[in-house]
Amino acid sequence: MIFRQLFDSVSGTYTYLLASRRGGEALIIDPVLEKVDRYIQLINELDLKLIKAVDTHLHADHITGLGALRDRTHCVTVMGENSKVDVVSMRLAEGDKLTIEGVVLDVLYTPGHTDDSYSFLMRDRVFTGDTLLIRGTGRTDFQNGDARAQFDSIFNKLLRLPDETMVFPAHDYKGETVSTIAEEKAFNPRLQVKSVDEYVELMGKLNLPNPKMMDVAVPANMRVGLAQEDIAKRGWAMSASEARELIGRPDVTLIDLRERTEREKHGVIPGSLHAPYPDLAANVRPGGMLHELAAATGRRMIFYCAFGERSAMAVRAAQDAGLTSACHIQGGIDAWKKANGPLLPQ
């Protein structure tokens, strides 16, 4: 298991790099824009392939590295379904699993610091974002923060995890690196309250100044989506309603790049093939499944995913590999649903 806790001293942010083995797939949690070069260097040194970049919530104190990592590594960007970010490649909800090869994290919706705060549980450790900090809790006075919701997230979700579960937060300002659920139960001064009302009162009295970066970071972090217009300008995109007219036509193949769990949750476009995004490079190169299919049938390849990001990156890779008919459904299944496109249960 590869587990790295990386630190940005300017914002006091912890970023976590996870992988099950050298040479394998990697996932990064809460990357900071200014540190992206360092992450990529480490990923290369450890011979890893970055598959997913995840933010626990929309940060107010630093600009996220999600967009830059996606542009440079073609990884999938991930946030919770309640996030106000414009576009990410994948959105998760309570009970979903966040997976890469050899690593599975359970998704917990833990609102309170913000209304889009999520925690991720990996067996013996939990990544708590700014919901539960070491001997502290994330402030609840902006970004739809809610001390009552945070009390519920902490007391009824996080503190119910096994006592020995390690707590890895998104921030620390005193140099603490890790804690446990038992330690926080016993020694976190904010958690020594007798009722939710007492907690709400405590959080209401904090009177903290806004983060220095807030006016810059929040708007920047809400616009991390890949610019899909560029793909459209090249004629490599179609709208969901245009794609709907093509269902069942013998000269097109619809290709679903999403994961099995996304297909089960949202359904699939009738007649489409499943070719998961992480296998894309292998599938579009000569000898690969999609390359050979296009060559043998002459059909137009129409990629789709959840929101159009993975499919936009797939179109570029397919075009680079010589599949000149490749295009995608702009906006993905999200746009497809809005256009009343038919979906079959998976």
Q: Which stretch binds Fe ion (CB under 5 A): 38-46, 130-138, 227-235, 335-343?
A: 130-138
Q: Which two tokens stand for residue 45?
A: 């040194």
Nearer to Fe ion, 61 or 256 (CB): 61
Q: How far apart are the first and last CA of the chain?
A: 33
* CB of 95 vs Fe ion, minimal distance in Å: 23
* CB of 128 vs Fe ion, minimal distance in Å: 11
Strand, helix or coil for residue 74: coil
Which residue's beta carbon is nearest to the bound Fe ion?
A: 130
Nearer to Fe ion, 35 or 263 (CB): 35
For residues 90 and 66, the answer to whether their CB atoms sit within 8 Å is no
Strand, helix or coil for residue 185: helix
For residues 204 and 137, the answer to whether their CB atoms sit within 8 Å is no
| Alpha carbon separation from 191 to 28, 40, 134, 152 (Å, rounded) | 29, 38, 11, 12
| Residue from 130, 172, 184, 259 in contact with Fe ion (CB under 5 A) | 130
Nearer to Fe ion, 128 or 228 (CB): 128
Residue 99 amino acid letter: T
* CB of 191 vs Fe ion, minimal distance in Å: 18
* CB of 10 vs Fe ion, minimal distance in Å: 15
- Binding string to Fe ion for residues 88 to 127, with x set by CB under 5 A, is what? ----------------------------------------
* CB of 62 vs Fe ion, minimal distance in Å: 9
Nearer to Fe ion, 73 or 137 (CB): 137
* CB of 83 vs Fe ion, minimal distance in Å: 12
Could you give the residue ranges of the DSSP H alpha helices within 24-95? 36-45, 66-73
Give the number of residues in contact with Fe ion, rule: CB under 5 A.
Answer: 1
* CB of 138 vs Fe ion, minimal distance in Å: 6
Nearer to Fe ion, 115 or 130 (CB): 130
* CA 128 to chain CA mean position, Å: 15
CA distance 49 to 57: 24
In this structure, the number of other CB atoms found within 10 A of the CB of residue 36 comes to 21
Nearer to Fe ion, 34 or 334 (CB): 34
Strand, helix or coil for residue 60: coil
CA distance 234 to 315: 11
Nearer to Fe ion, 61 or 262 (CB): 61
Nearer to Fe ion, 116 or 130 (CB): 130
- Binding string to Fe ion for residues 290 to 309, with x set by CB under 5 A, is what? --------------------
Nearer to Fe ion, 62 or 291 (CB): 62
* CB of 57 vs Fe ion, minimal distance in Å: 6
Closest residue by Cα to residue 320 from 280, 276, 279, 272:
280
* CB of 297 vs Fe ion, minimal distance in Å: 49
In this structure, the number of other CB atoms found within 10 A of the CB of residue 297 comes to 13
- The full 3-state SS of 4-16, as one line of letters, equals EEEEECCCCEEEE
Q: Which two tokens stand for residue 82?
A: 């309640």
CA distance 335 to 318: 22
Residues that bind Fe ion (CB under 5 A): 130
